[in-house]
Structure 1
Amino acid sequence: MLAPFKQATPLLDIIEAAGFEAYFVGGSVRDSLLAREISDVDIATSALPEELKAIFPHTADIGIQHGTILVIYNGEPYEITTFRTESGYSDYRRPDEVRFIRSLKEDLQRRDFTMNAIAMDKTGELIDPFNGKQAITMKQIITVGDPDERFGEDALRMMRAVRFVSQLSFTIEERTLAALSHMPHLLENIAVERKLTEFEKLLVGPSNNEAISILVQTGLFNYLPGLSGNGDCVSRMARCNLVGLAKAELWALLIHQIGLNDREANGFLREWKLPLKQIKQILKTLYWLRYRLNNEWTRISAYDAGKEFMVSAERLLQRLTKLKTSSEAELFKVFDQLPIKSRSELTLTGADLLSWFKEKPGPWVNHYLRLVEEKVLTGEVANVKADIREWLDNCNLKLEKD
């Protein structure tokens, strides 16, 4: 038994000693069968939330209405959930009614896919009433029971199915895939934030090409922000070599394939409700990709882009064209040979300019600093304060005071 399970086994012992059943369930069991890394474990039990709170002295109500409490044991947090059934998914997102039960099999029956409907006891024995282990062996994503019912209960499960294709390199079983194709409209009922979580996991998975193709094949893409009607563009992305691309690079590539301008790209990312910091990173990645599609690196552009965005632009260029691209080592050499790497390395400061020209602060200060940066980068002026002062005096620039 893997270390995370061994570490959590005492909780199962304590629950069983109190007269209840307890098992490891869900993704941790699945991932252990796939020999994937396990970060934490989930526990399901026949004990009711109030009974669990009577057993363990340190708990927190994190989802008690759905039977989940947080137990702190030996300083570590564990989510423990009471066996339950769910019914009445009128909004295609959440159950209208949750009923606590004492049956493990009924609890497993409400889960999305057979590979996630496996339990394991403290000895490592599997309880697998829906043949989830077989599905894992066959590398298939199969719903527990009728796929129409499972996706009708929570439409986000359709995105989860495709996300697992990307993450696990599995295929989707025929009936399950057919249901995806005639139910994608149910995604309209799902919050953007929930779609985003699944989509980003899908983007960075090792089989993202296949997953993106399934989004187009099933029509699910039409119910994702900004993608409706852009099936050809999404398909083009699926045909690119996506191996080794970071999340921001994948977003930038998607936007480029759709053909959005800067304003439209910003609106597209905001529609996805991405954090502002992430939007800025993606837009900057996109900017330098488009620069590189039409230009070679210069000292000034390398300085403005920085190592990170130079590498990103080159990676994306490699996926989009047959142009000769530079290796990471070559890019780093270009950047490392620059006479300055940031404005802070200039011997000139804004205070110097104000003192020399006896003018009030204004946009002209930044304008002059930029001019000097460019001259230093191109080697026309040495990064020596006296040389810069002499160049400024001789070039007779007109101050921009407004």
Structure 2
Amino acid sequence: MKIENLPNEFTDARKVLQVIEDAGYQAYFVGGSVRDTILHTRINDVDIASSAYPEEIKSIFKKTIDTGIEHGTVTVMYDGKSYEITTFRTESGYQDYRRPDQVTFVRSLKDDLKRRDFTINALAMKENGEVIDLFGGIDDLKKHIIRAVGDPEQRFNEDALRMMRAVRFASKLDFTIEAETFTAITKHSYLLKKIAVERINVEFVKMMLGKAPSRGLNQMIETKLIQYVPIFNNYVSNIADLATLSISDYLNNETQVWSLLAVQCGLNDDQINHMMKAWKCSNKLTENVRLVVLACRKIMTDNLDAMTMYLVGKEDLDNACQIALAFGHLVDDDRIENEYEHLPIKSKNELKINGKILINHGFKPGPQLGRVLKHLEQAVVSEQVNNDYDSLLAASKKIINRQ
């Protein structure tokens, strides 16, 4: 196969390949960029592999950076842009089921490609658009199949994360996992315990944001991968029910992914915190999910109030609407957006009074002052007090008198 009109992402990088070839070495575009070019989908990173060893790459180009030279990667600065060039290599000795104990640089493109995970990712392309397919990747793309390169059991013993990558690609592309590859995942699913949660997290979220997240969830259940990820082994029936829904049209970001799962599994705030901590998610993401779940449940029970909208904020209110829609709830998002836009304030910083002003009026600094400001904030949002200086000052004095 030869691709006549290469996407713009390759335009500048082609010059780098030509320089390497002019120096007497081989150079190819490899991996996902070639796959996505054939599929006519958006290209993320353009990866370059070469028969030139790192020191040889450094001798060809004037300015280079040793990005990951122990694994054969050198960053080349050329015409004001940076390009990562990785030497063809073989790997061996995967004692931790993730990283090779030994990396050996080689001159053979075939040796480099055969260590890769799936046939659709083991493609190489010359700078002129000619595709090198040594393992049937193009045919698998046409048949919509995820197939391991060579022996799938060996591939997954080398790197157990590849099992999650299989279900991620199946979801992302809406492909089927080939039978032998699927069987190998089922047989070795327990090896996922060897992989850092952070790495599983990345693949899982990408899976949920793919074309067919329900396919991915079902495959995780069928292969028993679900048993070896945090939390969800206790909610398999919930996850199975979720997989019956058409959720792909409603998931656009990480917050929505975790919020959807929290609602489906019926998690309270403490359980949400536990889930997010187990999956090594950030505190900020955890708080966003907690707020989205709060709003979503109120939307789904037609109980959304001004204070909830205020606490949740515009972005996460939109996220909550999407989750409610995913569960089949009829959401009047125009009405919700209109009500949010007409809130008296969107932030406590919009209050026409603050702690400094109250102190100037004789209020003592400390926790009590904070409680007064919180009362004022709630009173303004619920339209019990107007957001003007005189009204807020009068209200604050009443609050102090009651306390």
Deviation at 1:293, TM superposition (A): 4.2
Q: 1:299 to 1:231 in 2, by over 3 A?
A: closer
Matched, 1:209 2:214: yes
**Structure 2 partner of 1:132:** 137
Deviation at 1:355, TM superposition (A): 3.4
Q: Distance in 1 between matches of 2:370 and 2:381?
A: 16
Deviation at 1:160, TM superposition (A): 0.6
Matched, 1:235 2:230: no
Deviation at 1:395, TM superposition (A): 7.0
Q: Distance in 2 between matches of 1:42 and 1:114?
A: 16
Q: 1:364 to 1:105 in 2, by over 3 A?
A: same
**Structure 1 partner of 2:369:** 365
Q: State the Cα deviation string for residues 107-133 of structure 1 (Å, max 9, x = none).
A: 111111111111111221111111111
Q: Distance in 2 between matches of 1:107 and 1:143?
A: 15
Contact 1:72 1:78 in 2 (8 A): yes
**Structure 2 partner of 1:286:** 293
**Structure 1 partner of 2:3:** none
Q: State the Cα deviation string for residues 89-110 of structure 1 (Å, max 9, x = none).
A: 2221122222221111121111
56-65 or 131-140: bigger deviation = 56-65
Q: Distance in 2 between matches of 1:263 and 1:121?
A: 53
**Structure 1 partner of 2:29:** 24
Deviation at 1:326, TM superposition (A): 1.9
**Structure 1 partner of 2:225:** 220
Show the 5 A alignment for 1:321-340.
322=329, 324-327=330-333, 329-340=334-345
67-76 or 343-352: bigger deviation = 343-352
Q: 1:338 to 1:140 in 2, by over 3 A?
A: same
TM-score (norm 1): 0.92
Show the 5 A alignment for 1:2-401.
2-242=7-247, 243-245=249-251, 246-294=253-301, 296-320=303-327, 322=329, 324-327=330-333, 329-356=334-361, 358-392=362-396, 397-399=401-403
Equivalent AA in structure 1 for residue 332 of structure 2: S
TM-score (norm 2): 0.92
Q: State the Cα deviation string for residues 189-237 of structure 1 (Å, max 9, x = none).
A: 1111211111111121121111111111111111112222321122122
Q: Secondary structure at the match of 1:59?
A: strand
Q: State the Cα deviation string for residues 15-68 of structure 1 (Å, max 9, x = none).
A: 122211111111111111011122431111111111111111211122222211
Q: Distance in 1 between matches of 2:234 and 2:308?
A: 35
237-246 or 38-47: bigger deviation = 237-246
Q: 1:380 to 1:94 in 2, by over 3 A?
A: closer
- Give ranges in structure 1 of 5+ residues lacking alignment: none
Q: Distance in 1 between matches of 2:255 and 2:11?
A: 37
Contact 1:15 1:21 in 2 (8 A): yes
163-172 or 39-48: bigger deviation = 39-48
Deviation at 1:294, TM superposition (A): 4.4
Contact 1:311 1:331 in 2 (8 A): no
Q: Distance in 2 between matches of 1:194 and 1:382?
A: 50
- Give ranges in structure 2 of 5+ residues lacking alignment: 1-5
Q: Distance in 2 between matches of 1:371 and 1:44?
A: 62
Equivalent AA in structure 2 for residue 65 of structure 1: E
Q: Secondary structure at the match of 1:228?
A: helix
Q: Distance in 1 between matches of 2:95 and 2:371?
A: 60
Aligned length: 396
Deviation at 1:392, TM superposition (A): 4.9
124-133 or 242-251: bigger deviation = 242-251
Q: 1:244 to 1:321 in 2, by over 3 A?
A: closer
Q: Distance in 2 between matches of 1:124 and 1:109?
A: 21
Contact 2:146 2:175 in 1 (8 A): yes
Q: Secondary structure at the match of 2:343?
A: coil
59-68 or 238-247: bigger deviation = 238-247
Equivalent AA in structure 1 for residue 391 of structure 2: D
Query: What is the CA RMSD across the aligned residues, in angstroms?
Result: 2.0
Q: 1:142 to 1:309 in 2, by over 3 A?
A: same
Q: 1:43 to 1:321 in 2, by over 3 A?
A: closer
Q: Distance in 2 between matches of 1:301 and 1:45?
A: 56
Q: Distance in 2 between matches of 1:288 and 1:361?
A: 33
Q: Distance in 2 between matches of 1:299 and 1:376?
A: 10
Q: 1:52 to 1:375 in 2, by over 3 A?
A: closer
Deviation at 1:320, TM superposition (A): 3.1
